Amino acid sequence: MKQEKWVSLLGLANRAGKIISGEELAVKEIRTGRAKLVLLSKDASENTIKKIKDKCLYYQVPVKEVANRYLLGQSIGKKERVVVAVLDEGFAKKLHFLLDETIRG
C-alpha cells in the first residue's frame, strides 16, 4: 500500500514546526484562532470527536477525519495521536486538498 501524500506533507509540516498534537493543545489553538485545519482520528473516543467537532464548528475551523490514531501519530513521528492541529494556512490548504483527494480516490 502506497503511503498517502497527506502523510508525507503532515510530516513535513511537523518538521517545520507548523502543527500541534494532542487534544488539549489542539483545543487551545482552535480557541486562539491559530488552528487552520484539524485532523481527527476516526478511532478517537466519542467524547473527543464531539468536543473537537463542536469546537471546530464554533470557531469555524475545518476538520478532517483520518483513518486511525496510528497513521496520524506515525505521520508526525510519534506514537498514536487522535488530534493534530495544523497552524499554517499553506499546509492546511494543501492537506485539505490531499485528504479530499484521498476520500474521492
* Domains defined along the chain, listed by start: 5-104 (3.30.1330.30)
> pTM of this prediction?
0.95
CB atoms within 10 A of CB 3: 11
* Beta bridge pairs of residue 65: 40
Kindly give the pairing relationship between strand 63-66 and strand 37-41.
parallel
State which amino acid sits at residue 79: K
State the Cα–Cα distance between residues 90 and 73, nearest whole angstrom: 21
**Cβ-Cβ contacts under 8 Å for 79 (sequence gap 6 or more):** 73
Per-residue pLDDT of the chain (105 residues; tens, 9 = 90+): 456 899 999 999 999 999 999 999 999 999 999 999 999 999 999 999 999 999 999 999 999 999 999 999 999 999 999 999 999 999 999 999 999 887 676
The amino acid present at 69, given as its one-letter code, is R
